[in-house]
Every structure is written in C-alpha cells, then in structure tokens.
A and B are shown apart, each in its own frame.
Chain A
Amino acid sequence: MSYKRLIEAKTRQAFELVKDLAQDVVFTRKTNSDFNFGTGLEESDSKSVKTKVIVSDNKKKSSERNTIRKTLMAKTAEVGDMKLYESISFNGLVWKIGEVSKNDGYVSVVDVYREG
C-alpha cells in the first residue's frame, strides 16, 4: 500500500473511532454558475456531497451580532477543494463556508458561519 493510501485509510479510521463526535453533514457547491445581467440573478447548478465532519471549535464571533463560527475537520479525499463549496448543512441548519485554514491533502480544516 502506498503511503498516500495508508494515510487516507488511517484518516477514515480516525473519523470512525471518534464515533458520534463525527457528525453527518452535506456540503453543497456550485458546479456551474453565471450571472444574468438582464435579470440581476445568478444562474447556477449545484452538487451535494455527504460526509462526516468533526467540530473542533465553536464560538460566538461578534459581540455586536449573534454570529456563530464553527471550525470543522473533514476528509479531503471525500470533499476535495473546500473553497468550491458554498454551504454546509448539519443539525438541520445551513452554515456558510468561510476560510479554509488547512488542507494537507488528507484533512481539511474550515470555518463555517451562521447568524444565530
């Protein structure tokens, strides 16, 4: 087994070992988009990817507004380039994708935001 496959297998195993700390989520991204200047609206297609994430941080971002930020870890092999995603759904709520702080090819760490 190559080192790359070995690390990916161990990453999958790690997400299984943490049991319910890894939550089921759905990432949504645009696969094609254009802007119609006639209507002033976006025209796009989207694609969803189901995976598991681990919430590593959770805090209120702003003292002026109830902006909530979560930091999530996901398996890069399943989600690919996190910057392509727009939103993530879990626990019945939709969060917007923010900054991707880490992507080592195996684990991606991303901030997601929501107005609470």
Chain B
Amino acid sequence: MGKYVGLQTSAFSVFDSTAWKAESIKTYPANFVPVNPGDEFVRVSIIPSGRGINSKSSSGVFQIDIFTSAGLGPTRAMQLADKLDLYLQEKSKTVSEGTLQFLLSSLSLTGVDKANSALYRAKYTIPFNFFGVL
C-alpha cells in the first residue's frame, strides 16, 4: 500500500471506531457530497503537505470543518471541537500501514457559512506525523 492511502487508512480508522460512531456526529470526508447532512456535521480533510522520516511517511495537518446551526452562538461548535480533541489530540493510532500521531489542536471560528447562511462554520486543525511501515 502506498504512503498516502496508508495515511488515509490510518486516519479513517479513527472515524470508523465504535467509540466515534457512538458519538453520533455525522462525519464525512472531503470531496463527498452527503444527501441529507442536516444542520450539524463535520467534514474531514487530510492535508499531507509535509515530509516524513522515510519514503512511506509524511506529515501535515488534519483540517476538520465543523458545521452547526447558525444563530445559536458558538457553544455547539466548541463542544464538537472538544469531542474531536478526545479522539485526536496527542493521540496515536497504529494500524498495519503505520502509526499516525496527532499533536496539539487549534480552532478558528470562521462564522456563517458562505454557501449556506443557515450554518455556522468553525475550522478545527491538528498537525500530524505519519510513520509508515517500510
């Protein structure tokens, strides 16, 4: 398996876990168009823009867009960011393709979504290192 698919497999395993599914937070990857996402969901983008320690490794940032109802304040977005922290921040995930290590997260409240003014958008970002198995 290649470096990037290995990274994706490791990353997606977080959201495929029983514990994350039990949170009942609608989660979609980038470049996926859900039919009825509702007014609360998160969208995960993996940006492997950095180098790794070997040819099967990489580093970069997870960008997770958090969408909640507009007009209700930032509390729900903060709560969802805290939920993400529980599963990502300073955590590591090892699968057969390698080990994915998350660092410290940050959150940016970007305001009302440009495409849908009924949604409020926040951007959760967390750097990662992926150590692929050679």
Q: Are A38 and B16 in contact (CB under 8 A)?
A: yes
Judge if A64 is at the interface, Cβ distance under 8 Å.
no
Residue of A whose beta carbon sits closest to that of B9: A40
Binding site for A on B (CB under 8 A): 8-9, 12-16, 27-29, 32-35
Smallest beta-carbon distance B23→chain A, Å: 13
- CB-defined contacts of B12 to chain A, threshold 8 Å: 37-38, 40
If A35-B28, A35-B29 touch, whether A40 touches B8 (CB-CB below 8 Å) is yes
- Report which A residues bind B (CB closer than 8 A): 30-38, 40, 42, 44, 84, 86
A37 contact set on B, CB distance < 8 A: 12-16, 27, 29
* A54–chain B nearest beta-carbon distance, Å: 26
A34–B34 touching, CB < 8 Å: yes
Residue of B nearest to A36 (CB): B16
List of A residues within 8 angstroms of B29 by Cβ:
35, 37
A35 to B29, CA, bound (A): 8
Q: Which residues of B contact A31 (CB under 8 A)?
A: 35
Residues of B within 8 A of A36 (CB): 16
For residue A38, which residues in chain B have a CB less than 8 angstroms away from its CB? 12-13, 16
Q: Give the docked Cα–Cα distance between A102 and B8 (Å).
A: 38
**Contact across chains for B32 and A30 when beta carbons are under 8 A apart:** no
CB distance from B116 to the nearest CB of A (A): 11
B21's closest neighbor in chain A, by CB? A37
A86 to B31, CA, bound (A): 13
- Beta-carbon nearest neighbor of A42 in chain B: B32
Provide the bound-state CA to CA distance between A86 and B35, in Å: 11
Q: A40's closest neighbor in chain B, by CB?
A: B12
Q: How far is the CB of A80 from chain B (nearest CB, A)?
A: 13
Contacts of B32 in A (CB 8 A): 35, 42
Q: How far is the CA of A34 from the CA of B16 in the complex (A)?
A: 12
- The reply to whether A84 and B35 contact each other, CB–CB distance below 8 Å, is yes
Complex CA–CA separation, A30 to B12 (angstroms): 23
Chain B residue contacts of A32, Cβ below 8 A: 35
What is the minimal beta-carbon distance from B100 to any residue of chain A, in angstroms?
14
Expressed in whole angstroms, the minimum distance between the Cβ of B46 and any Cβ of chain A is: 11
- If the complex has contacts A35-B28, A40-B8, are A30 and B13 also in contact, measured as CB distance less than 8 A? no
Q: A33-B33, A38-B16 given. 12 additional CB < 8 A pairs?
A: A32-B35, A33-B34, A33-B35, A35-B28, A35-B29, A37-B14, A37-B15, A40-B8, A40-B12, A42-B32, A44-B35, A84-B35
